[in-house]
Structure formats: C-alpha cells, structure tokens
C-alpha cells in the first residue's frame, strides 16, 4: 500500500522498451496503437469504434521488468457513461501466463467528492464524481498504482465504454514504470496550481476579448532530510537521465484516490535549483514540475 504523504514519481519508465499491440482490436490507420509509446500527446491512438472487442491494447517489454505504476492518457472517456477497465500482467511475451489481474469493472472515473461536505440536493452527492462538463477542459488521465511491484514481461488492458459519445476511444500515451515512492513525506509549504496561459485584449470601452489556452498544472516543494543514498541514486539520477525533456508520472498524494483526477499527471521537471546537504548523509531536494500538455 502507498505510504500516506509520500509522493510517487515514475522512476524506471518502461515506455521506450515497450512494443504496443492492438490485441486483435481495430485502430484507425492514421492513429495507430503504436502512438501510445511516443509524444506529443496530441498524436493519439484511436480505436475504430467503441465496442469492447476494439477498445483494448497490449504492451510487451523488451525483458522482464518490475511494474507498479501506469499512466494512460489523455483519454476521451467521460463520467456519464461509467467507463471501466481491466488490467492483467503476464510473465511471458505470449501474454498467456497471468501473474496479476485487477478484475473487470474498475472505474475509470472514481468518486471525486466527499459526500459529507455536500448537501443531498446537490447532484454531486448522488453521482460522487464529475459531470461531463467539468472535465471537458481538463486533461483526462487514468493513473494505476498497484499494491506492490509485480515482475512481468507484458500487460493487457481492456476498456469498456460502449456508449462513448465520440463513438471511439483514444489515448495519448501509455507510461508504464517501476515507480518510486519517497521514504520521506513532502515538506510543509509545498505549492501547487496552474500556469495560466490564456490572454485577453481590452477594447477602448473596457470590454475584453479572451483567447483561452490550456493551463498546465504546476507543483513546487521540497523533500527534506532525505537519506543521501536515496537522493543520489533515485532523484538525482532521474534528473540526469530525463533532464528537462523526458516526462514521467507524478502522484503527490497516493493515499488520496479521491483526488487522483486532480493531482496525478504526466510531468516534466523545471529547473528546481540545487540539492542541499542538510545534515550528515541527509539531503533536501527541491522539486519543481510542470504538466505535459
């Protein structure tokens, strides 16, 4: 299980060593299933329709890997149709020797509201999750964090969203990773929000015309007094390998599935400054991240 208050990063990404397959499903020629493995996110993989026979894909790794974290998105599934998924992991490249099964019917959109804070007349009290209108302008990402690391050679994921309004499913990226959870909790004072990019022009009379542009989420904070071996062997190595270029999954509060649709996203590092040697064999690492759009 995830430790409360200990952030998770997508250390050990397997995406570049994954061969994605359609598993017998039909994908649009111009939006093949192989797009799941590359950026930009706008270059999606799109199924030919929304039938369950066509809304699935597989991934086979170049070798045996440890897998605990997966991020899929952005996707076009909406809360009103109650989409769900099933993830299975396998120990062989033929995907026949199963080592993990999430079970069918796992909701893509979990509850995002605590009913204690809502009046019973509020629609959100009964649905528990977003309305379609609330997610139209957001980045829709499906995060999966397993209870433990599973050693596997490949995976199969199947979606059920036969009433999808678009008549098909599409996914921007699939990011499978080992995942790493900090041994120390996030320091108090961390900040998060959005980097708003929308612009406006004001007329002589005072009215404004707006150009709305997507706003990436941002996160900035510190992990204080982290064991030096962990700071060097995990975080510093991640920055060295990914630079400010390669993205990774970011899950700041794994103990709060209620907020996963709000807080879990694909991130790139922004230059955070230098690591501080805070005490003997203890380092304080600054973290500054921006969401990949």
Query: What domains can you pick out in the chain, each with its CATH number?
Result: 10-179 (2.60.120.260), 191-291 (no CATH)
Q: Which residues, including other chains, have CB under 8 Å from residue 49's CB and lie 6 or more apart?
A: 26, 167, 168
Q: What is the pLDDT of residue 3?
A: 67
What are 185-188's contacts with CB under 8 Å, separation 24+?
185/3, 185/4, 185/5, 185/6, 185/7, 185/223, 186/5, 186/6, 186/7, 186/221, 186/222, 186/223, 186/252, 187/221, 187/222, 187/223, 187/224, 187/284
CB contact at 8 A, 181 and 96:
no
With 0.85 as the threshold, say if the pTM is over it.
Answer: yes
Q: Which residue has the tokens 């093949």?
A: 32
Per-residue pLDDT of the chain (293 residues; tens, 9 = 90+): 556 779 999 999 999 999 999 999 999 999 999 999 999 999 999 999 999 999 999 999 999 999 999 999 999 999 999 999 999 999 999 999 999 999 999 999 988 888 777 788 877 777 788 888 888 877 789 999 999 999 999 999 999 999 999 999 999 999 999 999 999 999 999 999 999 999 999 999 999 999 999 999 999 999 999 999 999 999 999 999 999 999 999 999 988 888 888 999 999 999 989 999 999 999 999 999 999 99
- The C-alpha angle 286, 65, 182, rounded to 5 degrees, equals 25
pLDDT at 277: 95
Paired with 12 in beta bridges are none
Residue 139: per-residue pLDDT: 77
Burial of residue 220 (CB within 10 Å: 0-12, 13-18, 19+) is: middle
- Would the CA dihedral through 270, 259, 107, 75 be positive or negative? negative
φ, ψ of residue 281 to 5 degrees: the values are 55, 30
Residue with tokens 């203890």: 282
């Amino acid at each position: 299980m995830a430790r409360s208050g200990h952030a998770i990063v997508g250390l050990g990404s397997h995406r570049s060593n994954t061969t994605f397959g359609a598993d017998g499903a039909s994908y649009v020629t111009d939006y093949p299933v192989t797009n799941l493995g590359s950026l930009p996110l706008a270059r999606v993989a799109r199924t030919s329709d929304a039938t369950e026979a066509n809304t699935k894909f597989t991934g086979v790794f170049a070798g045996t890997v440890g897998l605990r974290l997966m991020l899929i998105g952005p996707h076009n599934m909406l809360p009103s149709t109650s989409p769900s998924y099933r993830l299975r992991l396998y120990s062989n490249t033929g995907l026949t020797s199963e080592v993990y099964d999430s079970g069918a019917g796992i909701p893509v959109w979990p509850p995002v509201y605590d009913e204690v804070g809502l009046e019973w007349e509020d629609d959100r009290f009964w649905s528990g999750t977003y309305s379609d209108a609330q997610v139209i302008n957001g980045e829709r990402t499906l995060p999966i964090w397993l209870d433990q690391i599973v050693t596997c050679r490949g995976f199969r994921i199947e979606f059920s969203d036969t009433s999808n309004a678009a008549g098909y499913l599409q996914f921007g990226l699939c990011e499978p990773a080992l995942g790493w959870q900090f041994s120390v909790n996030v320091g108090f004072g961390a900040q998060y929000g959005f980097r708003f990019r929308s612009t406006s022009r004001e007329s002589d009379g005072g009215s404004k015309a707006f150009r709305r542009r997507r706003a990436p989420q941002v996160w900035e904070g510190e992990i204080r007094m982290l064991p030096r071996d962990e700071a060097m062997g995990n975080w510093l190595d991640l920055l060295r390998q990914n630079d400010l270029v390669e993205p990774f999954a970011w899950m700041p509060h794994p103990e709060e599935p209620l907020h996963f649709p709000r807080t879990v996203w694909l991130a790139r590092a922004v230059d955070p400054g230098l690591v501080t040697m805070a005490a003997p064999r203890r380092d304080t690492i600054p973290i500054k991240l921006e969401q990949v759009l």
